[in-house]
Structure 1
Amino acid sequence: MDIIEAIHTRRSIRKFTDQPVDEAQVTQLLQAAMSAPSAGNAQPWQFVVIEDRQTLSKIPEFHPYAAMCRQAPLAILVCGDTSLEKYPGYWVQDCSAAVQNILLAVHGLGLGAVWTGIYPDLPRVEGMRNLLGLPEQIQPLALIPIGHPDQPSGKVDRFRPERIHHDRW
């Protein structure tokens, strides 16, 4: 799939079939994530692959927009590791780039996913921290439920030329 086509046709998928995701595909997604740019090439990310059905089912108890975890075959939690930062505070941008790479790779593999925000919502951060036993230096940024799509998707024109400014505001 052409990268421009992938960018324009990727959609947030919240409904999945019960078909499992192949372990080799999960590895490809994580490889894509780790190919993201990062400040000073610090790569301050850590990933938690969640496949346990009980664990996935507990996430909507503290994350109101993660109901799809109850049916998703897996989710990847993208975390910033503050002990790996060269430039403090940039872990959010670095990990966001990794999330976008995962979302594009998911689409390229014919899978579906949705970005569910964790940070900076403290109840969600603490919920993930407690559920998964995250160390103090690990900051959960985003949870990405992944599976085989069970909903239609397609290209939507989101281009807004009135939001473009050249040289000055």
Structure 2
Amino acid sequence: MEFGEVVRRRRMIRRYADRPVDAAVVDRLLDHATRAPSAGFSQGWAFLRLDTPDSVARFWEATSPDPGASNPWLDGMRTAPVVIVPMSNESTYLDRYAERDKAGSDQRWPVPYWHIDTGMASLLILQTAVDEGLGACFFGIPGQRHDAFRAEFDVPGDYTPIGAITVGHRPADTGSSGSAARRRRKDTAEVVHRNGW
């Protein structure tokens, strides 16, 4: 698939067909994620790959404020056979910028690049899913559930889940019921300011 087509076809898919995802495809999703740019080539990210029914069920149990809840969004998302949790690690960046080749660099960090870089890696997972003919959806893990998530999967405390990504085969009905179905995409001319605002 041409790159432009991958970009145009990317959508957040919130319900999946009852089919497993080939392990080699998940390998490619994660390999591509590690190709994302990172400040100082710090690569301060980690990815938790949950690809068994048991581990996926444990994810939903640990991250849901009400594990017994049922609603259209949650019921659809729980059909995903794979969940990938991208996590950032601030200390990796602080350590990297203390190294000799970065010593003296401005370490005030105007924005948290560890989160931004992990977000770019997440986008590569979403785009690779499209290229592989799959659907995926990035969503947030409630902040009050981070500790329960870390405890369930033995995640070190200095790793922050920036969200989670469900991955699976698109169902036959790929119509969108999300925000994109109710709101128009802004035209490029509305958001691009050339040579000044």
Question: TM range, normalised to the smaller chain?
Answer: 0.7 to 0.9
Does the CA-based 8 Å contact 2:44-2:92 persist in structure 1?
A: yes
1:128 pairs with 2:149: yes
Q: Give the match for residue 4 of structure 1.
A: 4
Does the CA-based 8 Å contact 1:9-1:153 persist in structure 2?
A: no
Q: TM-score, normalised by structure 1?
A: 0.86
Q: TM-score, normalised by structure 2?
A: 0.75
Where does structure 2 lack aligned partners over 5 or more consecutive residues?
98-108
Give 2:91's aligned amino acid: S
Q: Give the match for residue 62 of structure 1.
A: 65
Identical-residue share of aligned pairs (%) = 31
Does the CA-based 8 Å contact 1:11-1:153 persist in structure 2?
A: no
After the TM superposition, which parts of structure 1 deviate over 6 Å for at least 4 consecutive aligned residues?
none
Q: Give the match for residue 174 of structure 2.
A: 152
Q: Give the match for residue 100 of structure 1.
A: 123
Give the Cα–Cα distance (whole angstroms) in 1 for the partners of residues 144 and 63 of structure 2.
12
Aligned-pair Cα RMSD in Å = 2.5
The 3-state SS of whatever aligns with 1:75 is strand
Deviation per CA, 1:110-148: give whole Å up to 9, x if none. 011000123xx5214334223322211111112001100
Give the Cα–Cα distance (whole angstroms) in 1 for the partners of residues 156 and 170 of structure 2.
33
Give the Cα–Cα distance (whole angstroms) in 2 for the partners of residues 78 and 68 of structure 1.
21
Which runs of structure 2 are paired with 1:30-69 in the superposition (5 Å)? 30-53=30-53, 54-59=57-62, 61-62=64-65, 66-69=74-77
Q: Give the match for residue 192 of structure 2.
A: 164
Q: CA deviation at 1:30?
A: 0.4
